[in-house]
Every structure is written in structure tokens, then in C-alpha cells.
């Protein structure tokens, strides 16, 4: 029996690749994308208690799929990293990251600063600036490489909305 060498089941890069291929904007299936995210959380030990709760009680909402976001992340440092990456990303992706120039940590929005950006909000920002499907897919990879918090994307959406008004 031959064995194919592979990375461990908890490897973040492999989960990121799987989720990116299952994502609807990459031609995947919405339900499969959500399912794969839940499996990742269970296998990697994140959200285990939340999953146990879901087994015992029915929730009226579904937690959106999010950019992987380490719990010990420093929001201000990630904002600075995103601004540094803006020039490297260039184009529409860099322009969106540049909108984070006045994005500061706020205690009242701590819950958004401590979780990864939802792919739904990232897609909304992409649609607002007219990104194609392939550009949105790259936008998700940019967001994952920072990683962007939900607060970051909320700030970008707010700036886009005020610009449109």
C-alpha cells in the first residue's frame, strides 16, 4: 500500500484551500461551504462548544462563514498590516485596504474586532466597487492573508456607503 504524504488535518493552509474551492464565488456550493467551515471548526477545536449547543437546541440563525482569525490577534497591528499590504495589492483591492487608514480600535465594537470578517460582508464590499467574480475571489485571499476582522470590513462598507451618498 502506497501512502501519499500530506499535511496534518489541522493545517490552516489546507483548510483555506478547501474553503476557497467550496465557496460559491469560486463555483462551489453554498451548503458545502458552510458544512466544510463547521467541520474545520470541529476538527481544529474551534467552536466545539457552539456545535454541541447546536446539537441540543435549534438555532434560528446560521453563523456566517468567516475569514480565519486567530483569537490572540492585535486589531491595531492587523490594521497597520492591511495598510502596508494596500500598495502591494494595488488596484481595487489596494484601494479598499487604503480605506482602513482611520480605522481605530473601539471598545463598543470589540465583538467585531475579535472575529474574522464574514465572506458575505467581503462580497458586499466587492459588489459595491464592481468587482468581477475572479476579483472577489482574490479579495477573499487578500482578506485572509491580513487577516481582516469584521470591524475592518464594516469600516470599509461605511466609507463606501458615505461615498455613494
Please check whether residues 84 and 120 belong to one and the same domain.
yes
Query: Does some domain include residue 7?
Result: no
Q: Which residues fall within 8 angstroms of residue 119, CB to CB, at 6 or more apart?
A: 23, 64, 65, 66, 67, 140
In the chain, the number of structural domains is: 2
C-alpha cell at 143: 482578506
What's the rounded Cα separation, in Å, for the pair 102 and 79?
9
Single pTM value for the model = 0.63
CB neighbours of residue 4 within 10 Å: 4
Residue 64 lies inside a defined structural domain of this protein: no
Phi, psi torsion values for 33, nearest 5 degrees? -60, -50
Residue 47, domain extent: 12-56
If asked whether residues 101 and 152 sit together in one domain, one would say yes
85 and 122 both lie in a single domain: yes
Residues 36, 90: one domain? no
CA distance 114 to 14: 23
- d(CA 147, CA 159) in angstroms, rounded, equals 19
Map 34-65 to HEC letters. HHHHHHHHHHCCCCHHHHHHHHHCCCCCCCCC
Co-location of 27 and 101 in the same domain: no
16 lies in a domain? yes
User: Is 115 found in the same domain as 44?
Assistant: no
Q: Where are the beta strands (DSSP E) in 44-140?
A: none
**Residue 1, in any domain of the structure:** no
Residue 127 lies in a domain: yes
The answer to whether 135 and 99 have CB atoms below 8 angstroms apart is no
- Assess if residue 108 is contained within a domain: yes
Is 86 found in the same domain as 46? no
My answer on whether 85 and 160 are in the same domain is yes
Residues 153 and 81 in one domain: yes
Determine the Cα–Cα distance for residues 33 and 15; give it in Å rounded to an integer.
11
Instruction: Looking at the structure, tell me whether residues 102 and 145 fall in a common domain.
Output: yes
Per-residue pLDDT of the chain (165 residues; tens, 9 = 90+): 677 777 788 888 888 888 888 888 878 887 888 888 888 888 877 654 444 444 444 444 567 789 999 888 999 999 999 999 998 888 999 999 999 999 999 988 888 999 999 999 999 999 999 999 999 999 999 999 999 999 999 999 999 998 876
Amino acid at each position: 500500500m502506497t501512502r501519499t504524504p500530506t499535511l496534518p488535518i489541522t493545517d490552516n493552509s489546507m483548510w483555506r484551500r478547501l474553503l476557497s474551492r467550496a465557496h460559491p464565488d469560486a463555483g462551489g456550493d453554498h451548503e458545502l461551504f458552510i458544512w466544510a467551515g463547521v467541520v474545520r471548526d470541529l476538527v481544529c477545536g474551534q467552536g466545539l462548544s457552539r456545535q454541541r449547543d447546536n446539537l441540543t437546541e435549534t438555532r434560528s440563525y446560521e453563523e456566517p462563514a468567516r475569514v480565519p482569525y486567530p483569537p490572540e490577534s492585535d486589531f491595531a497591528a492587523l490594521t497597520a498590516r492591511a495598510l502596508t499590504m494596500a500598495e502591494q495589492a494595488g488596484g481595487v483591492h489596494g484601494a479598499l485596504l487604503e480605506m482602513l487608514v482611520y480605522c481605530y480600535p473601539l471598545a463598543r465594537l470589540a465583538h467585531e474586532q475579535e472575529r474574522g470578517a464574514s465572506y458575505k460582508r467581503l462580497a458586499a464590499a466587492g459588489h459595491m466597487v464592481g468587482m468581477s467574480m475572479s476579483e472577489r475571489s482574490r479579495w477573499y485571499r487578500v482578506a485572509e492573508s491580513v487577516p481582516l476582522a469584521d470591524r475592518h470590513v464594516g469600516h470599509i462598507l461605511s466609507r463606501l456607503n458615505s461615498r455613494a451618498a
